[in-house]
Amino acid sequence: MNKAIVVSLFVLILVGICVSRVKYEVVFLRKSLEGINKEMEKCSDDIKIYSAEWSYLNTPQRLKALCGKYLKNLKPLENNQLISYEQFTQSHFQEDCNRTQEGHNKAFVAFLNGVAKAKDVLEER
């Protein structure tokens, strides 16, 4: 009888301790979860502010102003600068390409001559 009572008491105390411990754990975990949630919310808020700032920095008006300032030689593409594939394969365009190629060849020969001359000058020195 005594043993049974002692064991029951021991079990009761053990269960009490466990329950108490679980409760504490839950409270602390909840606190930690709330902390994490708050942190997530803060991060999301920060991301939103950064996104808004990034969008503001990329507004078309601002980009146009920056292009005007730093890309003076570039202008928006106009429709007459584009051609269709059919036009691309037309002969006069090919001729233009050939002409350009000839120009490139001449420039390249001139460049090689220049390099050769420079080499001679250096050797003489």
Partner 1 sequence: MRLFRSLFDGFALWRRAKSHSTLIEALRNRLLFAGVCAVLIFSGISYRLADVMVLSQFIDCRSKNWTSPGIIQKADIVDRNGELLATSITTASCYADPSVVIDIDEAAAKLNEIPGMPGIDRIKQKLSNRKKHFVWLARHITPQLRTQIMDLGIPGVHMLKDYKRIYIHKNLFSHVIGCSDIDGEGIYGLERKFSKQLFIKDATDKRKLVTTLDLRMQAIVHEELERAVKKFGAAGGNAMLMTTNGELIAIVSLPDFNPNNLKSTTSDAMFNRNTLGVFEQGSILKILNVAIAIDSGAASLGTVFDATEPIKIGKYLINDFRGKKRPLTLAEAFVFSSNIASAKIAQAFGASVQKAYMKKFGMLDKPQIEIPEVGRPLIPAHWTEATTMSVAYGYGLAVSPLQLLATVTSIINGGVRIVPTVINRRHPRANDQIRLVSSETSAIVRELMRSAVCYGTAKKASIDGTSIFGKTGTAYKVSGRGYGSDSTRKRITTFIGGFPSDDPQYMLLVTLDDPKPSQETFGYVTAGWNVAPAAHDIFNRIVPILCESVGKASTPIKVLKYVKLEKR
Residues that bind partner 1 (CB under 8 A): 1-2, 5, 9, 12, 16, 20, 24, 27, 30-31, 34, 38, 40-41, 44-45, 47-49, 51-52, 55-56, 58-61, 76-84, 86-87
To the nearest whole angstrom, how small is the minimum distance from the Cβ of residue 21 to partner 1?
12
Pick between residue 1 and residue 122 the one whose CB is nearest to partner 1: 1
Question: Are the C-beta atoms of 67 and 74 separated by less than 8 Å?
Answer: yes
74 contacts: CB under 8 Å, gap ≥ 6: 67
CB count in 10 Å sphere of residue 67: 13
To the nearest whole angstrom, how small is the minimum distance from the Cβ of residue 27 to partner 1?
6
To the nearest whole angstrom, how small is the minimum distance from the Cβ of residue 70 to partner 1?
19
Among 102, 107, 83, smallest CA distance to 93 is for 83
Determine the Cα angle at 37 with ends 30 and 18, to 5°: 15
To the nearest whole angstrom, how small is the minimum distance from the Cβ of residue 95 to partner 1?
18
